[in-house]
């Protein structure tokens, strides 16, 4: 039996096994030019929409397959469900 617990509505930064990947996401976001990167408040607002979404599962959007923290990092990329 698999003892791995899948977390619905969790982000990478909240998953123990996602910590290293989240550090990569933070580095990626910090290296984006300011005109491309979402601002901190917008980034957090996007993630709050994702946390409330029924398609978030284990830090992944089940509609598009992305890690939501990566999708939320860029201004010109939007939620596949139209939430942001």
What integer best gives the mean pLDDT of the chain?
Answer: 90
Please state the domain extents for the chain: 12-71
The pLDDT value given to residue 52: 93
Q: How confident is the model at residue 84 (pLDDT cuts 50, 70, 90)?
A: very high
Give the global pTM.
Answer: 0.86
The owner of tokens 């617990």 is 5
The pLDDT value given to residue 36: 97
pLDDT above 90 as % of the chain:
74
Q: Show Cβ contacts of residue 12 under 8 Å, excluding neighbours closer than 6 positions.
A: 18, 19, 21, 22, 25, 59, 67, 69
The pLDDT value given to residue 64: 95
Q: Residue 3: pLDDT above 60?
A: no
């Amino acid at each position: 039996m698999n003892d791995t617990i899948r977390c619905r509505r969790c982000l990478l930064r909240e998953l123990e096994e996602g910590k290293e990947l989240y550090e990569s996401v933070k580095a990626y976001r910090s290296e984006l030019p300011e005109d491309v990167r979402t601002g901190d408040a917008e980034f957090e607002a996007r993630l709050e929409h994702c946390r409330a979404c029924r398609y978030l599962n284990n830090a992944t959007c089940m509609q598009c397959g992305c890690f939501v923290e990566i999708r939320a990092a860029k201004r010109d990329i939007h939620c596949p469900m139209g939430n942001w």
